[in-house]
Structure 1
Amino acid sequence: MESRISIERTGEHARSAGHKVKYLVLLITSLVLLLNYADRAALGVAGSEIIHEFKLTNTEFGLISSVFFVGYAPFCFVGGWLSDKYGPRSIMAIAGCWWSIFTALTAAGTGFLSFMVVRFLFGFGEGPQGAITVKTMSNWFPQRQMGMAVGISQGATPLGGALGTPLVAALIASTGDWRIPFIVLGVLGVLMMIGWWVIVRDTPHVHPWVGRPDQLEPAVAEKKPTEEENNQPARPLSWYLRQPLVLATSAAFFAYAWVLYTFLSWFPVYLVEDRGINLKAFAFAGALPWLLGMVGYMAGGVITDKIALRTGKPAAARRGMIIFGLLGTAALMALLGNVSSAWSAVAVMSAVVMLLYLTGSQYFLIISDTIPGKRLGGVVGFVHFIANSSGILAPLLVGMLVDYTKSWPLTFGLCAAICLLGALVILIWGKPRNLS
């Protein structure tokens, strides 16, 4: 009797440990992504200082912003594929250290060419984070909690923008040197990746803090692949990449990313150069859209989890949220070109980012709902790659439009049209079906 009680208590302790560790994994993943976006947002905040110091044109600064995505976009796919092959823990650790080093090296920029090289290499490290995050959450959380897990972890990205924007602006304003924030963020990144390596394992079943696999709490235990699943041959990755659902999701994600990267690269410059907001005022104005974006990102995942639980159709719930969010974003972007004041622009863009981010986790979730785990990293990486190819075009095209037309409303109208097209593509061709 005492032996049975002892075994039950041991099991309860192990289940409690597994429950705590999976949320610790979620926490450190969220912190990594927070810093990821703080690093990425820093160039936009420092943009006006860099443009003036090095006498860059808007087109040249657009090229510097765009070249990041030349490195970033393919490594979204490469990182996802590598996480399937070698596990997410080691690939994220390498990627995080890489992007942190090149964040710090941005401070060594001496002109157009050196910024181009550093930002290109910086993109290599930042690319894998999206696919690795989804792979990690899929390994640690059951499907019914995936919206919450991905929503919270990826929702940390706009929080990174919200915290990074005033931090970078304040450091520049107080020191008079735009280089300082990049060095600070680089050091923080290396420290963060040490924390990631200590806390995270690829699956709960190999984590030393969890306990015996047969005593895991159910939400963790059900993530262990069965022997039958391990031996079952998976379709080639190329087969999944040709499916209409995957391609339609990629197109909708491209539209989402076009708006996001226009905002990330150019909205700070627009407020400072066109609307006359100084860096101190921008510390608040630049953070507000990010804060509302965080709310939208996290709420979107939780809402579609609840709809999925009620309807039994998780992928359809994700698709519906994408269509709703992109249509609303298109309407608000069209409005943004006609506002009368800087603070009206901040208010409308804040609403844009919140509505856009309602869809933010859905592109990852619709893939995790329909693709088997063996191919999840590669397919998510491919979808993320297509989306982020917009970052190669959007910052450059915006810079050229502003240089040659002097029209910010034209830029915002283009965003609206691309969002509308993305919503239509997933509405027509993105009908969910299980692809396992």
Structure 2
Amino acid sequence: MQSTRNIVSNNKIWMLIIFVVGAIPALVSDFDGSAYTYAAPYILSRISLPTFYFGILISGYAAGIAIFSLVGGFMFDRFSPKSTVVYSVLLFSIFTILTGYSTNAIELVISRVLVGFGVGMFQSASVSFLGDANPETRGAGVMVWGVLAGLGTFIAPYIILPFLPNYRIPFLISGILGFIVAAVFYFVVPPVFKKEEKLKNPFRHVLNRYSVFPMVSMFFFGFTLLGLLGYYSDFLSSVVGFGKTSVAIIISFLGVGGVIFGIPAGIFSDMVGRKIVLIIAITLISISMLAITYAPRDLILFLLATLAFGTGWSIFSILSPATGQDMVRDEAVGSVSGAILMTFNIGGIIGPLMIGLILAKGFTLRAGFLYFIDIPAILALLLTIAMKYPKNIKEIVKQQLLEDASISK
């Protein structure tokens, strides 16, 4: 049995493979999310559902993630991350296919909630896996997830566009990709990741005066991200007036920033600290969101604003759980990641529902964006600026490295 440090130093190719395969569920997760964001107007039109169902469906998806992010993080700390990810990816795969083949509102809502169950479990377990593999390079490790998530977000609209208005085949493709990812993860990732003490109740070590900041800031960011993902396609087409090809290109740009800037941002956070990188990311999100809400119909302007938002999204959403991992003992990194992702998705439940509510009362979609997407992003920025970090963070990481950590094939 080799230690994590020995594998990193003596077999970097193997460790790179572990990082890529550990993050590959992000590809199918965000492929599904991007495909749904783009296809949502066509799905609702086919089933004859009113506009406020955009909010109900994205909130149901977020509810599934919120509940099972905590489960996935707990299972990472108590059991094998390998089995957690494999079974949850299989669950995701079945219900992303059923999203495309739903014929009524009940089937569609259930499918999106259960897709969220799968995503919640494997997202928290995978991000914990990547962050815990080598705490000294935690930022770079977790941002492999951001890169593959960005790739999935980028390619989905181009795959779905040729099939429209028939959106079923892309969701079938998403499910097949999920089955492939589960198989690759099963055969490559070690069954025993780290040998260490298993806490009976890791949640006791999750909440402290430091970790509360990423939890609350991610809560408000949940309003922002899930609100945008739920309504962006409809906003671009019905409010701004873009055609379906332009909408596909704009939505694909949500993924470009993560692919380009994800790893550099992670490396930079390892060098100078997470807080400054998180502030830059949420600042990009806040400014670009205001531009999206009020910009005139100009394709280049929307591409740039969407690129900036996607860059901030890929960094902020993944480095925040890594920040929480910096703030707790090694045996609780999965649970703190799950808790941060849970609060994020609780915000993701509330935000889209509130947009749907004010739309039902006659307000415009721009007003919904301002109150439940733009303002929460600014609140997340203020909380990130106020974030406290342990003064002895290097000692925390050093202690994590001194734990008895082993990887076996």
TM band (smaller chain) = 0.7 to 0.9
Secondary structure, in 3 states, of the residue corresponding to 1:58? coil
In structure 1, the residue matched to 2:370 is: 413
Q: Which residue of 1 aligns with 2:60?
A: 67
Question: What is the deviation of 1:236?
Answer: 4.9
Secondary structure, counterpart of 2:126 in structure 1: helix
How far apart are 1:401 and its partner, in Å?
3.1
**C-alpha displacement at 1:96, in angstroms?**
0.4
| Alignment partners' CA distance in 1, 2:113 and 2:152 | 21
Shift of 1:242: 3.0
Distance in 2, Cα, partners of 1:395 & 1:149: 31
Distance in 1, matches of 2:13 and 2:244, equals 41
2:304 aligned to 347, 356, 381, which one? 347
Which residue identity lines up with residue 340 of structure 1 in the other structure? P
Equivalent residue runs for 1:22-421 within 5 Å: 22-140=15-133, 142-172=134-164, 176-203=165-192, 230=196, 236-307=201-272, 317-343=273-299, 344-414=301-371, 415-421=373-379
Q: Would you say the 8 A contact 1:244–1:429 is kept in 2?
A: no
| Aligned equivalents of 1:282, 1:96: Cα separation in 2 | 29
Tell whether the 8 Å contact from 2:257 to 2:311 is kept in structure 1 after alignment. yes
Gaps of at least 5 residues in structure 1 are 1-12, 205-223, 308-316
CA contact (8 A) 2:250 2:306 kept: no
How much has 1:62 moved relative to structure 2?
1.6
CA contact (8 A) 1:66 1:393 kept: yes
What is the DSSP-based 3-state SS (H/G/I as helix, E as strand, rest coil) of the residue aligned with 1:127? helix
CA contact (8 A) 1:170 1:280 kept: no
Task: Spell out, residue by residue over 1:217-245, the C-alpha distance to the aligned partner (whole angstroms, 9 max, x if none).
Answer: xxxxxxx66xxxx46x9695343333121
Note closer, same or farther for the CA distance 1:135–1:337 as it changes in structure 2 (3 Å cut). closer
Question: Quick check: which has more Rg, 1 or 2?
Answer: 1
CA contact (8 A) 1:319 1:362 kept: no
Q: Within 2, Cα distance between the matches of 1:121 and 1:235?
A: 28
* TM-score normalised according to structure 1 size: 0.81
Post-superposition offset of 1:289? 2.6
Give the Cα separation in 1 of the matches to 2:8 and 2:59: 47
CA separation of 1:334/1:40 partners in 2, compared to 1, >3 Å: closer, same or farther? closer
| 1:258 Cα deviation after fit | 2.4
Q: Is the 8 A contact 1:275 1:341 kept in 2?
A: yes
**Alignment match, 2:402:** none
User: 1 CA distance for matches of 2:387 and 2:308?
Assistant: 28
Question: For 1:289, what is the secondary structure of its paired residue?
Answer: coil
CA contact (8 A) 2:146 2:315 kept: no
Identity %: 19
- Looking at structure 2, the residues matched to 86 and 379 of structure 1 have their Cα atoms a distance apart, in angstroms, of 15
Aligned residues: 387
Q: CA RMSD of the aligned region, Å?
A: 2.5
Matched residue SS, 2:295 = coil
State the Cα distance separating 1:114 from its structure 2 match.
Answer: 1.4
Displacement, 1:94?
0.2
